[in-house]
Structure 1
Amino acid sequence: MDFGAQDEVVRFLASLEGGAERIVTTHISVVALCGTHAYKLKKAVVFSYLDFSTPSRRWEMCEREAMLNKSFAPELYLGAHRVTRERDGRLALDGAGEMIDAVVVMRRFADEDLFEQIAKKDGRLTPAMVEALARRVAKTHDEAAPDYNKGGAAAMRRTLNDTALSLRNAAAASAEHIDTLVARLNGVLDAQGALLDARKARGKVRRCHGDLTLRNICLFEGAPTLFDCLEFDDEIATIDVLYDVSFLLMDLWRVGAFGCSNLALNRYLDARDETDGLPLLPFFMSLRAAIRAHVEASQQNAERARLYFDLAMTLLAPAKTAVIAIGGLSGSGKSSVAAALAPVVGCPPGARVINSDRIRKRLFGVAPTARLPQEAYASAVSAQVYGEMFDVAARTAALGWPVIVDAVFDRFQDREAIKAAAEGAQALFFGAWLDLDLDRRAARVDARVNDVSDATRDVLETQMEKATGEIEWLQIDASKDTATIAAQIGKAFEFRHASTSQE
């Protein structure tokens, strides 16, 4: 059955619930948005990676899609339904006649609640949304069983080869540019093959969502919700968990939500320690963009294909190893500055941010915004927190990935320890101290709502009584706005980096 023969089915679906408000077409599906439901029909197409050529095959895939997505969005998916031809010649859903096609039925959500739309509106994509989304993705990976038979370097080589062929067949860019991108990707894959196989052996390959673009994430009943997972090929969907999350990171970067892309990475890593896989991110993100380039080109969307292809080239930029420490007394704005600086340090999606307050909350098994009792701030606990912070910073930097460490650092020995951690990892060290008077710091602390820090006015006053010793880091007036401070640190860091490189 060719796709033209499905026109009757499309007209039938468009007539349901008083008529479709809109028909959405992708390269493999047609979705009729009708009233309170969406009816998703699979096109009668065959590609190298899928076969929807027959009604029975499409029924099988509809059942599979509904089943798999129940684990991601049970509140959205209502199941697979048969399209039948009745005795009078009319079509019906789950009638007594012969099945001629199949659909997946879902509850509808508002168009503006698709993350693709949310990300395009200034201020609508909030840090809270991104954090909840990153935790949700991490949870799906936690719940998926490791697969020790799929994935690894060989699987990524097959994916890259298939993508290269698809790019050429779809003429997603000039032959010369495609050859250049593919050669660069192959070079990185050659260098990182052992890491891919090691992660496979450690259980990092799992049956994932597989298609985590902003078009497959929505805000449903106030919560970020993943839908439309990759159902047609277990081989393609059983992947390194970082390759799965890289689709989201790439797509956020594509729409210019650089801070959100970095935030998603950091909150995901807070939930799952995938630090060892960070060197794979440029390859993963670039390959994801290349895949989208050939999809867009195959749909005759030349401009979108070009944008994705150019992004794929950009995302292969090498990382710069460094440890940047941002210190200052509570209320000086360290965390805000770290978040603003992180996306512009190194290659996309930016630096790993390590925050002492988040480590402390995790050690006590509470949510980041939950308040801890005073005994959680005893000297022995703080020593444990800082020790872990130094260790993670050193491990991350040793992999060639930049790190921003956000903590008070009011003790000389802690400042020396983070510098030593950087030196041990053979990474450039840069320290910045944010200076702000007590009144303004107190005003900031009073204004906090659902904050990770537990600092109070009493804590601020106690800190003022401690001797910090001579602070040799770059000292910054923290009364300036966050963007200005981040830019000042970034400029000074780049100057230090350039000077060191010339030595």
Structure 2
Amino acid sequence: MTHSPIPPDPQKDVIAFLATRLRATQTIVTHISTVLLSQDRVYKLKRSVHLPYLDFSTPELRAAMCAREVALNRRFAPALYLGLRCVTREADGNLTLDGSGAFVESVVEMRRFPDDALFDDMARERRLTKEMIERLARRIAAAHEAAAPDFARGGAASMRAIIESMETSLRQAPPAPMEEIDAHLAALRRALAENAALIDARRQAGKVRPCHGDLNLRNVCLFEGEPTPFDCIEFSDDISTIDVLYDLAFLLMDLWRVGLPALANLALNRYLDARKEKEEEGLPLLALFMSLRAAIRAHVEASQQHADVARDYFNLSRALLAPAQGVVIAIGGFSGSGKSSAAAALAPLLTPAPGARIFNSDRLRKELFGAASTDRLPPKAYRSDVSEKVYREMFDAAERVAKIGWPVVVDAVFDRPEDRAAIEAAAQMAGAPFFGFWLDLDLPQRLARVDARVNDVSDATREVLQAQMTKETGEIAWLRVNAGREPQKTADEIIANLAPSLRAFFSKSGIPDFAKVRSNPEP
């Protein structure tokens, strides 16, 4: 038997030249790229391949795609992507960069980020911080806001095509027994049918836009102190031009996957804070969107023969496809009682992933004045008429989100009887169950917490706290909770005091092993 000779790599000489020119210390080869790394620079070369979803078979096609890669990634990482370089062959036969000779190849030049700066590694090592996730969420929101709507792509038909393509891939490289795959595909199709009208309405409203397309933790780094998405999808507008919440869902799913539910919930809430009611009506789609993202990763990992990882993604995809329940949970208490910490601990426990929408009176007040969350507002911002406006906006927002069937946590002082009555009325108008909790903590502990605040969203001082104590609160009928413990225990007590039917509903968490998550705590 004779064997055909293995054809030579047409890019071998170019890669050798670039490695020498760059003084490369490492080479990474993926299915579509060859990446050369030196101490402070990166050269990224498109491989000469032709796949069902992309064509890099000629230098001209690769050059066009390199140019697109630079242009599209500069939306997210302008400091990381330096530009496009051309490899040319000069009259003496030697290769050079950006010479006057014949064009040979195109290369993307990037600055190199530290090896320990990938968010995927930082997440596993619990080095991600709340501040990093907040800045990342705002950066993604700004990119989505700046992108132009696309009314031709996306919609329910596009999501249906994703499921059809995924079914083929899952059958070719199954991450689980076929009966489980069939059942989950049927569940995904049911979820899509139930949400098709909302998905199409969002496309008509301009929610489908050019996005990153591959917004997972492996494609985010900390560069010069800033959370920086990179390596977006450049080879297919159909893959990257999607509903903005489907783009965000990859990040949320990935944070959930590595056992960081509170950071996933934080990312969702800060993104929505930046885009407000423009995106909140899409919350019912998150379970489907996150589940699809996990299922796609399941078949990718299975195709690469990573059986255990593929099974984990598939199990996660099934768990994420959970129903939602509208509910309003109000957390009140004097300044320093730990309301915001308790709300942040509680929100990820309210399914489906990534948990409840949180409305915080301090944050809404800062937004009203166009201030950053840690800016200190002037005294006029705390006039009674301003406070009434802030609380009214908070009540309206809680009603709006609960009405679409999504859980809401409202965090405010609630020392006035009329405010406690108003938030309960908002839940009633939304047709949602209401639960009110008052956090109890002795004055010395509250004073100590207020004194210790640094760069906090609350402007309350010990003078403000002491003034609160002189006001008439009326009878507080909400359930009193001891706030002298860690926030997670406060959140657990709140869950334990919901109605039995809701406790059972929310116990079906989207985290396959929640006890394991808690044993490896978040920052």
Question: How far, CA to CA, are the matches of 2:88 and 2:258 in structure 1?
Answer: 41
Aligned-residue offset at 1:6: 4.0
SS of the residue aligned with 1:466? coil
Q: 1:296 to 1:473 in 2, by over 3 A?
A: same
**Residue 320 in 1 paired to residue 337 in 2?**
no
1:375 maps to 380
Aligned-residue offset at 1:392: 0.9
Deviations 1:35-73 (A, max 9, x none): 211111223333332222222211111111011112221
Aligned-residue offset at 1:152: 1.4
**Residue 108 in 1 paired to residue 112 in 2?**
yes
TM-score by length of 2: 0.90
Structure 1 regions of 5+ residues with no counterpart?
none
Deviations 1:200-245 (A, max 9, x none): 1111111111111111111111111121111111122111111111
Structure 2 regions of 5+ residues with no counterpart?
1-5, 507-523
Question: How far, CA to CA, are the matches of 1:13 and 1:261 in structure 2?
Answer: 40
- Conservation of the 8 A alpha-carbon contact between 1:212 and 1:229: yes
**Residue 214 in 1 paired to residue 229 in 2?**
no
**Residue 237 in 1 paired to residue 240 in 2?**
yes
**Residue 289 in 1 paired to residue 329 in 2?**
no
Task: Kindly provide the amino acid, as one letter, of the partner of residue 106 in structure 1.
Answer: M
Question: How far, CA to CA, are the matches of 2:71 and 2:304 in structure 1?
Answer: 28
**Residue 152 in 1 paired to residue 161 in 2?**
no
Task: Kindly provide the amino acid, as one letter, of the partner of residue 497 in structure 1.
Answer: L
Aligned-residue offset at 1:246: 0.8
Mapping of residues 194-205 of structure 1, within 5 Å: 194-205=197-208
- Conservation of the 8 A alpha-carbon contact between 2:496 and 2:503: no
Task: Kindly provide the amino acid, as one letter, of the partner of residue 116 in structure 2.
Answer: E
Aligned-residue offset at 1:297: 2.6
Question: How far, CA to CA, are the matches of 1:4 and 1:179 in structure 2?
Answer: 41
1:455 maps to 460
**Residue 260 in 1 paired to residue 240 in 2?**
no
1:93 maps to 97
TM-score by length of 1: 0.94
SS of the residue aligned with 2:108? strand
**Residue 393 in 1 paired to residue 405 in 2?**
no
Aligned residues: 499
Aligned-residue offset at 1:8: 4.6
1:407 maps to 412
- Conservation of the 8 A alpha-carbon contact between 2:59 and 2:104: yes
Aligned-residue offset at 1:171: 3.2
SS of the residue aligned with 1:450? coil
Q: 1:314 to 1:270 in 2, by over 3 A?
A: same
Q: Decide which of 434, 439, 444 is 1:434's aligned counterpart.
A: 439
Q: Decide which of 62, 66, 69 is 1:62's aligned counterpart.
A: 66
Q: Decide which of 247, 252, 255 is 2:250's aligned counterpart.
A: 247
Q: 1:234 to 1:361 in 2, by over 3 A?
A: same
Question: How far, CA to CA, are the matches of 2:176 and 2:356 in structure 1?
Answer: 31
**Residue 167 in 1 paired to residue 170 in 2?**
yes
Q: 1:32 to 1:306 in 2, by over 3 A?
A: farther
**Residue 188 in 1 paired to residue 191 in 2?**
yes
Deviations 1:329-375 (A, max 9, x none): 11100001100111111111111111011111111111111111222
Aligned-residue offset at 1:257: 1.3
Question: How far, CA to CA, are the matches of 2:106 and 2:399 in structure 1?
Answer: 54
- Conservation of the 8 A alpha-carbon contact between 1:21 and 1:34: yes
Deviations 1:141-199 (A, max 9, x none): 11111122222112222222222222323334433333222221111111111111111
Aligned-residue offset at 1:89: 5.9
**Residue 137 in 1 paired to residue 137 in 2?**
no
Question: How far, CA to CA, are the matches of 1:47 and 1:411 in structure 2?
Answer: 64
**Residue 177 in 1 paired to residue 154 in 2?**
no
Question: How far, CA to CA, are the matches of 1:213 and 1:499 in structure 2?
Answer: 31
Question: How far, CA to CA, are the matches of 1:88 and 1:500 in structure 2?
Answer: 74
Question: How far, CA to CA, are the matches of 2:311 and 2:18 in structure 1?
Answer: 34
Question: How far, CA to CA, are the matches of 1:377 and 1:385 in structure 2?
Answer: 10
SS of the residue aligned with 1:453? coil
Q: 1:214 to 1:371 in 2, by over 3 A?
A: same
Question: How far, CA to CA, are the matches of 2:178 and 2:223 in structure 1?
Answer: 42
Q: 1:172 to 1:3 in 2, by over 3 A?
A: farther
Q: Decide which of 71, 74, 82 is 2:75's aligned counterpart.
A: 71
**Residue 364 in 1 paired to residue 349 in 2?**
no
Question: How far, CA to CA, are the matches of 1:340 and 1:378 in structure 2?
Answer: 30
Structural RMSD (CA): 2.1
Aligned-residue offset at 1:75: 0.9
- Conservation of the 8 A alpha-carbon contact between 1:432 and 1:473: yes
The alignment-based identity, stated in percent, is: 59
- Conservation of the 8 A alpha-carbon contact between 1:276 and 1:396: yes
Aligned-residue offset at 1:5: 4.3
Q: 1:116 to 1:3 in 2, by over 3 A?
A: farther
Question: How far, CA to CA, are the matches of 1:59 and 1:500 in structure 2?
Answer: 53
Aligned-residue offset at 1:499: 8.4
Question: How far, CA to CA, are the matches of 1:155 and 1:352 in structure 2?
Answer: 27
Q: 1:394 to 1:180 in 2, by over 3 A?
A: same
SS of the residue aligned with 1:475? strand
Task: Kindly provide the amino acid, as one letter, of the partner of residue 209 in structure 1.
Answer: H
- Conservation of the 8 A alpha-carbon contact between 2:495 and 2:503: no
- Conservation of the 8 A alpha-carbon contact between 2:207 and 2:244: yes
2:122 maps to 118
Mean alpha-carbon deviation: is it higher for 211-220 or for 164-173? Answer: 164-173
Task: Kindly provide the amino acid, as one letter, of the partner of residue 434 in structure 2.
Answer: F
SS of the residue aligned with 1:451? coil
Mean alpha-carbon deviation: is it higher for 188-197 or for 30-39? Answer: 30-39
Q: 1:406 to 1:59 in 2, by over 3 A?
A: same
- Conservation of the 8 A alpha-carbon contact between 1:30 and 1:41: yes
Q: 1:165 to 1:499 in 2, by over 3 A?
A: closer
Q: Decide which of 354, 359, 372 is 1:349's aligned counterpart.
A: 354
SS of the residue aligned with 1:119? helix
